[in-house]
Chains A and B, each alone.
Chain A
Amino acid sequence: MPQYKVQLLNILVKKKKVHTHTHTHTHTHTGECVSECGGWIHQQYFSVVWLGLNVFLFVHAFLTFEKSDKYYYTRELIGSSLAWARASARCLNFNSLLILLPVCRNLLSFLRGKALCQGQLDHNLTFHKLVAYMICLHTVIHIVAHLFNFERYRRSCKADDDSLAFTLSTLYPHEKGSPWLNPFPSSDMTAEHLTFTSIAGLTGVIITLALILMVTSATEFIRWCYFEVFWYAHHLFVIYFIGLVIHGIGGIVRGQTEDSMKEHPHSKCAEEYKDWGEHCRRPRFEGLPADSWKWVLAPVILYIFERLIRFYRSRQKVVITKAILHPSRVLELQMNKSDFRMEVGQYIFVNCPSVSFWEWHPFTLTSAPEEPFFSIHIRAAGDWTESLIRACEQQNSPMPRLEVDGPFGTASEDVFQYEVAMLVGAGIGVTPFASILKSIWYKFRHADHTLKTKTIYFYWICRETGAFAWFNDLLASLEREMEECGKVGFLNYRLFLTGWDSNIAGHAALHFDKSTDVVTGLKQKTSFGRPKWDNEFSALAAAHPRSVVGVFLCGPQTLAKSLRRCCNHYSSLDPRKVRFYFNKENF
């Protein structure tokens, strides 16, 4: 079996594409696509259900606190801000429950299984972010409502002596177990003082700060460029959950007790507040019990399981069968692990305890499933990767121990289902195609019946020449093998250099007649600039007038738009003629 010696790489260190882009299965057709579960539709449906649940919980809690008798006197002091605070608290509990679930990647993989469609379970990170935004929104509502609550409580302490508010606020001294209503013992205490001396206030401030730090370190920019900051700061979620559970323990939100409501119905007694003690007993109040733990206990346990599973999987021995250091500080690692089964387009998480005990970094797999090993290409682009490469290139010491978790991600098996496949990889997005091309070639050579592809058109769009060297050998090997098998037309590739300048162009012009390309050494010539998709599509439509063409892209959104437009434009309405189906997979 040919070993694809890969030469350079301009590729992924941080699995940017996977973690930060949405996985969208945009199956624009209604026809015969294999994994037709309407992935996109499912995701929207799921989000709508989630939103609906949020609205329901909010409205339900709002009406409870706004209308119920238990909180009549509380509302007398603070008005509707009670209901706003409690409704948003309910939604915060709900979303805190949900937020841990999408990141339990091992459990989700297990649930997903082989037979299930990939649908919403793969949109985990999009959902995680959505829930996070909702938590932020409700945090704002909750805090603003409580700010008003505190202010109004405090004003009640300073109200006129003969007002209901004042009466309610001074019913009982603030002792342990005493049935007071207004958390402010006197008007001397400031809101800030109460905040920092009450459990609810203190934990509230702490968990909000934790949340803010988690959010600011999780912006796309920080995640892409300084992954470690994001990774470590995001572990503040531990503080968030602990604080959340403790937050309600103080029972600062008070309602009338059951017994008190029986002997002191507010409808009869409220107006006679000056005479309480005579006809109506004084009302007694109790705190709302903490109930956040009921919401988050199960997900926290699941998440602990998830981390244990990751730990267990990572303990399994990973053997590095080959480490190749390529020019431009790119390290290829070929590895073996028992029970490791991968599919095209998937990724793994790698940890190297000697470099950093806690950090796990994602990498796309660059090997085909048919190969006897799995491989990744690591480019030196940060502290962790630099250290790893340095550790691996030590001549005299053994290879560092590695831990691997995975594989995760969408298996892009659709790519084998089309008679004609048009694969477009832009820049760093070409990596999963390495795996795909190799796999297609293996299947083709072994006449695998699952492969329906007869012709492939591969477009690689990249900025600079350095990036080409990686694919050189791969494509050169493919070129050679195809010639040997006499199947020259199977793989057609076009390489586009978008970062050209007049020097490069002049050089190419001068060597125009050579049979191999000056940039890549391949028989196919490198083109300069961006592809003109209209020409490409029309040429393809002319060459395959009766075929179904699957178009696969791993690249930026703008490119997706152009390709989608071309697919729609060049697809014939006649089902017997050429049709283009666009699949944007973010591997």
Chain B
Amino acid sequence: MGQIEWAMWANEQALASGLILLTGGIVATAGQFVWWQFGAYSIVAGVFICLLEYPRGKRKKGSTMERWGQKYLTTVVKAFGPLTRNYYVRAILHLCLAVPAGVLLATILGTACLAIASGIYLLAAIRGEEWMPIEQKPKERLQVGATIKQPPSNPPPRPPAEVRKKQPEEEAAGPSGGPQVNPVPVTDEVV
């Protein structure tokens, strides 16, 4: 399993754990179970973990599917720099967050899941993985007009006369975003 990025699975597991902690915490607090204050803690911890884990990191190879709306949280998570990039930090953080919730039965499942996530993150960290934010790629539309800043200083190389008659359809179609099969033949105007 050499090419697996464990951090990706750890991320899914941690996100699930956050939700489980949150649910357990709500049950314990709402039901006013004994030691329900730990339930309140679990709610906070659960929300925090969900926010931290929601933005998926970038895969090393291949494209990564973003979660819906994750770009806002990506900017926040990215701002913490090495604290969020390094998976050792995350592994330890999750382990520490998990422990207090282990007191209550309602949240102990969250503890177990988070501990597992922490373990997988540790494995990822040992293998040198890092969290990289998924950046928005700037749109590379071919805006012919916009990229012309200065008139060219040399005349363009001219292909032979017979080729010159045909207008490069592809380049003209560029700005409009795709080829067009014209139902009516179009005569060119460039000589």
Binding partners A and B: yes
Q: Do the beta carbons of B4 and A226 come within 8 Å of each other?
A: yes
Cβ of B98 under 8 Å from chain A? no
Select the stretch in A39-47, A237-245, A535-543 that faces chain B: A535-543
Cα of A229 to Cα of B6 in the assembled complex, Å: 9
Picked from A150, A213, A527, the residue with its CB within 8 Å of the CB of B13 is A213
Cβ of A147 under 8 Å from chain B? yes
Q: Do the beta carbons of B181 and A192 come within 8 Å of each other?
A: no
- Closest chain A residue to B20 by CB distance? A212
Q: Do the beta carbons of A147 and B31 come within 8 Å of each other?
A: yes
Cβ of A183 under 8 Å from chain B? no
Q: Do the beta carbons of A147 and B8 come within 8 Å of each other?
A: no
- A residues near B162, Cβ cutoff 8 Å: 513
Q: Do the beta carbons of B65 and A216 come within 8 Å of each other?
A: no
Select the stretch in B74-82, B124-132, B171-179 that faces chain A: B171-179
Kindly identify, within residues 1 to 47 of chain B, every residue whose CB is under 8 Å from any CB belonging to chain A.
1-5, 8-9, 12-13, 15-16, 20, 23-24, 27-28, 31, 33-34
Picked from B104, B106, B169, B183, the residue with its CB within 8 Å of the CB of A535 is B183
- A residues near B179, Cβ cutoff 8 Å: 496, 527-529, 531-532
Q: Do the beta carbons of B183 and A538 come within 8 Å of each other?
A: yes
Cα of A133 to Cα of B123 in the assembled complex, Å: 29
Cα of A151 to Cα of B33 in the assembled complex, Å: 7
Additional pairs, 8, CB under 8 Å, beyond known A192-B104, A500-B170, A502-B171? A150-B105, A205-B108, A209-B109, A221-B8, A224-B65, A383-B4, A502-B142, A513-B163
Query: Do A209 and B8 form a contact, CB below 8 Å, given A148-B31, A502-B142, A509-B169?
Result: no
Cβ of A143 under 8 Å from chain B? yes
Q: Do the beta carbons of A529 and B109 come within 8 Å of each other?
A: no
Q: Do the beta carbons of B168 and A506 come within 8 Å of each other?
A: yes
Cα of A216 to Cα of B15 in the assembled complex, Å: 9
Kindly identify, within residues 141 to 191 of chain B, every residue whose CB is under 8 Å from any CB belonging to chain A.
142, 159, 162-163, 166, 168-171, 173-174, 177-183
Q: Do the beta carbons of B105 and A226 come within 8 Å of each other?
A: no
Q: Do the beta carbons of A216 and B13 come within 8 Å of each other?
A: yes
Cβ of B112 under 8 Å from chain A? yes
CB distance from B164 to the nearest CB of A (A): 11
- A residues near B169, Cβ cutoff 8 Å: 509, 512
CB distance from A361 to the nearest CB of B (A): 14
Q: Do the beta carbons of B1 and A229 come within 8 Å of each other?
A: yes
Q: Do the beta carbons of A143 and B9 come within 8 Å of each other?
A: no
Picked from B113, B163, B178, B183, the residue with its CB within 8 Å of the CB of A539 is B183
Query: Do A513 and B105 form a contact, CB below 8 Å, given A216-B13, A228-B1?
Result: no
- B residues near A505, Cβ cutoff 8 Å: 142, 168, 170-171, 174
Query: Do A528 and B170 form a contact, CB below 8 Å, given A510-B159, A535-B183, A539-B183?
Result: yes
Picked from A216, A221, A529, the residue with its CB within 8 Å of the CB of B173 is A529
Kindly identify, within residues 507 to 556 of chain A, every residue whose CB is under 8 Å from any CB belonging to chain B.
508-510, 512-513, 527-532, 535-536, 538-539, 542
Q: Mark A476-509, 1 if CB is under 8 A from B, else 0.
A: 0000000000000000000010001110011011
CB distance from A523 to the nearest CB of B (A): 17
Enumerate chain A interface residues (CB-CB to B < 8 A). 140, 143-144, 147-148, 150-151, 154, 190-192, 195, 205, 208-209, 212-213, 215-217, 219-222, 224-226, 228-229, 382-383, 496, 500-502, 505-506, 508-510, 512-513, 527-532, 535-536, 538-539, 542
Query: Do A147 and B2 form a contact, CB below 8 Å, given A216-B13, A222-B12, A506-B171?
Result: no
- A residues near B3, Cβ cutoff 8 Å: 382-383
Cα of A220 to Cα of B62 in the assembled complex, Å: 15
Q: Do the beta carbons of B16 and A154 come within 8 Å of each other?
A: no
- Can you list 10 A-B pairs, Cβ within 8 angstroms, ordered by A? A192-B108, A195-B108, A209-B116, A215-B16, A217-B12, A222-B8, A505-B171, A510-B159, A513-B166, A529-B178
Picked from B16, B56, B181, the residue with its CB within 8 Å of the CB of A532 is B181
Cα of A226 to Cα of B28 in the assembled complex, Å: 36
Residue among B16, B109, B170 with the most chain A CB within 10 A? B170
Cα of A530 to Cα of B168 in the assembled complex, Å: 18
Query: Do A512 and B166 form a contact, CB below 8 Å, given A151-B33, A208-B109, A532-B178?
Result: yes
Number of A-B contacts (CB under 8 A): 133
- Closest chain B residue to A217 by CB distance? B9
Query: Do A509 and B23 form a contact, CB below 8 Å, given A147-B106, A191-B105, A221-B12?
Result: no
Query: Do A383 and B1 form a contact, CB below 8 Å, given A505-B171, A529-B177?
Result: yes
Cα of A385 to Cα of B120 in the assembled complex, Å: 24
Q: Do the beta carbons of B181 and A226 come within 8 Å of each other?
A: no
Which 5 residue pairs spanning A and B have beta carbons closest together?
A529-B178, A509-B168, A216-B12, A191-B105, A527-B179
Cα of A150 to Cα of B2 in the assembled complex, Å: 45
CB distance from B64 to the nearest CB of A (A): 8
Cα of A170 to Cα of B28 in the assembled complex, Å: 26
- B residues near A216, Cβ cutoff 8 Å: 9, 12-13, 15-16
Q: Do the beta carbons of B20 and A147 come within 8 Å of each other?
A: no
Cα of A148 to Cα of B31 in the assembled complex, Å: 7
Q: Do the beta carbons of A510 and B163 come within 8 Å of each other?
A: yes
Cβ of B59 under 8 Å from chain A? yes
Q: Do the beta carbons of A225 and B13 come within 8 Å of each other?
A: no
- B residues near A192, Cβ cutoff 8 Å: 103-105, 108
- B residues near A221, Cβ cutoff 8 Å: 8, 12, 56, 65
Q: Do the beta carbons of B8 and A383 come within 8 Å of each other?
A: no
Q: Do the beta carbons of A195 and B105 come within 8 Å of each other?
A: yes
- Closest chain A residue to B3 by CB distance? A383
CB distance from B191 to the nearest CB of A (A): 16
Q: Do the beta carbons of A225 and B8 come within 8 Å of each other?
A: yes
Cα of A224 to Cα of B59 in the assembled complex, Å: 13
- Closest chain B residue to A215 by CB distance? B16
- Closest chain A residue to B140 by CB distance? A501
- B residues near A147, Cβ cutoff 8 Å: 24, 27-28, 31, 33, 105-106
- B residues near A143, Cβ cutoff 8 Å: 109
Cα of A151 to Cα of B174 in the assembled complex, Å: 68
Cα of A14 to Cα of B100 in the assembled complex, Å: 41
- B residues near A148, Cβ cutoff 8 Å: 27, 31
Q: Do the beta carbons of A222 and B9 come within 8 Å of each other?
A: yes
Q: Do the beta carbons of B5 and A226 come within 8 Å of each other?
A: yes
Q: Do the beta carbons of B12 and A144 come within 8 Å of each other?
A: no
Q: Do the beta carbons of B23 and A140 come within 8 Å of each other?
A: yes
Cα of A190 to Cα of B103 in the assembled complex, Å: 10
- A residues near B23, Cβ cutoff 8 Å: 140, 144
CB distance from A211 to the nearest CB of B (A): 11
- B residues near A382, Cβ cutoff 8 Å: 3
Kindly identify, within residues 80 to 133 of chain B, every residue whose CB is under 8 Å from any CB belonging to chain A.
103-106, 108-109, 112-113, 116
Cα of A152 to Cα of B23 in the assembled complex, Å: 19
Cα of A530 to Cα of B159 in the assembled complex, Å: 28
Q: Do the beta carbons of A536 and B181 come within 8 Å of each other?
A: yes
Q: Do the beta carbons of B113 and A229 come within 8 Å of each other?
A: no
Q: Do the beta carbons of A209 and B113 come within 8 Å of each other?
A: yes
